[in-house]
Amino acid sequence: MSISSRHDAWSAGTSYDAYMGRWSGEVATRFLAWIDVPASVDWLEVGCGTGALSAAILATCAPRSLLAIDPSDGFLATARHKLPDPRATFAPGGADALPAADASRDAVVSGLVLNFVPDREKALAEMRRVARPGARIGFYVWDYPGRGVAFMREFWDAATALDPAARDLTEDRRFPFCTQPDLVALAHRAGLVSVAAIPIEVATGFADFDDFWTPFTLGAGPAPGYCMSLEADARARLRERLRHTLPRSADGAIALTARAWAVKAVVPPASG
C-alpha cells in the first residue's frame, strides 16, 4: 500500500454510506440514464462497494443478470443485505482479474472506482475482455483535479491549512488523471469506439454542521481515514476550523455540489 493510500479504508458499509453512498446513488441514476443500455441483458459491475450503482441498475435497467464484484468483504456483506435480488450476485474480486468468462456480458460498468485501481489500463482491458462485441462499457469518477467535490475540497483545504503534509493525501494530487481528456484517452487506448464523456453534477446538501462533520469521523474513505488518524486535539482543531470556514445559510444548512466525469464507449464488433 502506498503512503498516500494508507487511509483509504474500504470496509465498513454503513460508514461508507454515510460519507459517500448517500451521494453516489444519484450520480449512478443519472449515469445509467445517459448510457442507455437495453433491458434484459447481462451486466457486470466493477467495485460495487455497498451497492449504490448496483441498486440503480436493478431499479432502472431491468437487467437479466448482474454480477457485482468488489475486494471488500465488508462492503459486499452490506450490498447483499441491502439488495436481496435473485438477478444479482455479489462476489469478491478485483478490477485486474474479473471473475467472468471472455465475451460474457452486454454491459460492463464501474462507479467511483477506477482512480483507486493501481493499473487502470489492465482494468479497462479486463472490462473489455468480459464484454461481448457491441457491448456498452461505462465508468465515472469524481472530478478531483477540477476540485469538483466541494465537501472533500472544504475538508482538505482546512486540513492542509493546519497540516501541510496532508497535501500529498488529497485526491486532486493523488488522482490527476480524473479529467475528461485523460479518461476519454483511457477508453481509446483500450480499443473502445464511440467514446463520449459528460460531467454529472449532483447537489450534496447537509442539514447542519454535524451532518457534514460526522461522516468524516467514521473512517471509510481517504478523507475520513485521515481524519481518524489524527490525535484527538488535532482533530478538534480541524473540526473548529471547518465550523468557521464552511459556507452556511441562515438556518445552518450547508449546500454544496459534487461533479463526476462519466465516460461511455462501445466494444467494437469482432474482427474476422
Ligand X SMILES: C[S@@+](CC[C@H](N)C(=O)[O-])C[C@H]1O[C@@H](n2cnc3c(N)ncnc32)[C@H](O)[C@@H]1O
**Among 9, 18, 32, 52, interactor with ligand X by CB under 6 A:** 52
Interaction of residue 190 with ligand X, rule CB under 6 A? no
Listed ranges 46-54, 164-172, 177-185, 236-244: which one lies at the site for ligand X (CB under 6 A):
46-54
Q: Could you count the other beta carbons within 10 Å of the beta carbon of residue 205?
A: 14
Answer whether 260's CB lies under 8 Å from 27's CB.
yes
Interaction of residue 75 with ligand X, rule CB under 6 A? yes
- Taking the C-alpha atoms of residue 174 and residue 259, their distance in angstroms, rounded to an integer, is 17
Interaction of residue 63 with ligand X, rule CB under 6 A? no
Cell numbers given for 124: 479497462
Give the C-alpha distances (Å, rounded to integers) separating 29 from 52, 86, 146: 9, 21, 22
Q: What are the phi and psi torsion angles at 243 (to 5°)?
A: -60, -35
Listed ranges 55-63, 109-117, 206-214, 240-248: which one lies at the site for ligand X (CB under 6 A):
109-117
**Among 12, 15, 21, 153, interactor with ligand X by CB under 6 A:** 21
**Among 15, 29, 72, 204, interactor with ligand X by CB under 6 A:** 72
Interaction of residue 95 with ligand X, rule CB under 6 A? yes
Q: How far is CA 86 from the centre of its chain?
A: 24
Interaction of residue 117 with ligand X, rule CB under 6 A? yes
Interaction of residue 15 with ligand X, rule CB under 6 A? no
Beta carbon nearer to ligand X, 21 or 224: 21
E strands within 131-221? Answer: 131-142, 193-206
Cell numbers given for 35: 448510457
Q: Could you count the other beta carbons within 10 Å of the beta carbon of residue 121?
A: 11
**Among 47, 138, 224, 225, interactor with ligand X by CB under 6 A:** 47
Shortest separation between residue 48's beta carbon and ligand X, angstroms: 5
Beta carbon nearer to ligand X, 98 or 242: 98
Interaction of residue 70 with ligand X, rule CB under 6 A? yes
Task: Tell me which H or E stretch contains 154.
Answer: helix 150-162
Interaction of residue 170 with ligand X, rule CB under 6 A? no
Cell numbers given for 147: 476540485
Interaction of residue 138 with ligand X, rule CB under 6 A? no
